[in-house]
Amino acid sequence: MGSSDLSMILPRVLIVSRRTVRKNKFVDFVGEYHLDLIVSYGAVPVIVPRVTGVHMLLESFEPIHGVLLCEGEDIDPSLYDAELSGFAPEELEEIRALHASDTAIDKEKDTIELRLAKLCLERNIPYLGICRGSQVLNVACGGTLYQDIEKEISKNCSLGQRVVHMNYENYDGHRHLVKVVEGTPLHQWFRDSLEGNKMEIMVNSYHHQGVKKLAQRFVPMAFASDGLIEGFYDPDAYNPQEGKFIMGLQFHPERMRNQDSDNFDYPGCKSAYQEFVKAVIAYEKKLSCSASIPKSVKLDQEIEKKRKVIVRSFSIARNMYSSGGGKVSGQESELQVGAEFLEANTALSLQQENRLKQMGATVRNASTYIERLKMNEERERVARNIIGKMSVGQLSDLISFYHMMGQICSEALEKKLHDLVVSEDISH
């Protein structure tokens, strides 16, 4: 099997890029660790570029077997907290100055990622949210965020409980302690690294925001010392073997590595990606199996509905054609359905042609027939308007004229029928 064949059958994981400025131009990028891990476990990362209008084109990225959303700017607070947490203007300016790269809100990225998150929730598509991606997942389900952890949490904590969640001076090397919740996937992944009964591991941290109110469907998997939720999942949507995986991690397990050797801090660091891709592969197989089963019942119902609409259109046309008139108003839209069907230039079988005739489709150009009915209706309206303006004498003369013409037509018709009967008798 060639490499091109392999890429055709591997499941697809969508990852939205992050935008930055380089040499006065926008550049979209995704961290290499995410891509490496997705590929190493058997899936293909498909990068969704953060460009204007992409949120309207997400159907073009189908089929979607998994979504991984990761780092990025702060989510627009109006999407979850209209009151901006009560910050004073000078506090907001201080936050923006300290976290300049994160506080520049990207509404297009918000729209793209929230739509993808909601799509995953609707279809049960495997979803892994890292850092900002976990916050997107929580907001998509109705949760809220702390807009600045230091000002909303740290100032209310004792010195022993305070946690540094963003350390610019030791960006990749900084770690802080989290307590893992027993019985969760995170506990399962890091079980061998937990010392005694402490249920604690050290994680990296690159954020100044975090989950405030956790959406109702989720269960926490880890807490920082200050009480901040560092991981959560949906227990009803977690079974990687069956293609179920909905999870958010505030820390970055893919970047928890020794700077000298590139080895992971813990063996469990890569488990999030391993189990996520396992779910993606199972979901793709489940999707392929369901797609191979013909949905005959649903298809028959749709065809039957369309057939009834077309039959009604032909029935109305037949009745109007048989009676030689009738008003179009009120039934024009129903007639138009049959007209569009007949004008589709579809090749019909003999059986279909006979069936159409049985339904009264004796006029192939239904649009012309509709226009003729409209014209007759207009002529009748004009005639009534003209006749209404005639005097009594003019109306009497007109009636006499048409009476005389009727007698002449009757005599001519009687003569032609008599001649036809005589000719048939002679031929016999």
Q: Clarify whether 94 is annotated catalytic.
A: no
Percentage of the chain with pLDDT > 90?
Answer: 38
Q: Is pLDDT larger for residue 337 or for residue 144?
A: 144
Q: How would residue 39 be classed by pLDDT, with cut points 50, 70 and 90?
A: very high
Q: Is the confidence at residue 277, as pLDDT, over 60?
A: yes
What is the chain's mean pLDDT, rounded? 80
Q: Is-catalytic flag, 252?
A: yes
Task: For 57-76, write each residue's pLDDT tens digit.
Answer: 888 899 999 999 998 888 99
Per-residue pLDDT, averaged over 193-213, amounts to 89
C-alpha 106/C-alpha 72 separation (Å) is 9
Question: Per the residue annotation, which of 131, 150, 230, 275 is the catalytic one?
Answer: 131
Given a cut of 60, whether residue 367 has pLDDT beyond it is no
pLDDT of residue 55: 86
Tell me the pLDDT tens digit for each residue of 327-342: 555 566 666 666 666 5
Higher pLDDT, residue 322 or 421: 421
* 340 among known catalytic residues: no
pLDDT of residue 7: 46
More confident position, 395 or 7: 395
Strand partners of residue 219: 233
For the segment 146-174, the average pLDDT, to the nearest whole number, is 80
pLDDT of residue 1: 45
> Looking at the predicted structure, is the pLDDT value of residue 31 above 50?
yes
pLDDT band at 4 (very low <50, low <70, confident <90, very high): very low
When pLDDT is averaged across residues 138-166 and rounded to a whole number, the result is 83
Higher pLDDT, 13 or 24: 13
More confident position, 294 or 305: 305
Mean pLDDT, residues 285-309 taken together? 67
pLDDT of residue 135: 95
Task: Pick the catalytic residue from 65, 252, 269, 284.
Answer: 252
Average pLDDT over residues 235-264: 93
CA 415 to centroid of chain Cα atoms? 74
Interval 96-107 mean pLDDT: 78
Q: Which pLDDT belongs to residue 355?
A: 58
Catalytic residue among 254, 269, 275, 284: 254
pLDDT at 294 over 80: no
pTM above 0.85, yes or no: no
Model confidence at 364: pLDDT above 50? no
Sign of CA dihedral 372, 373, 374, 376: positive
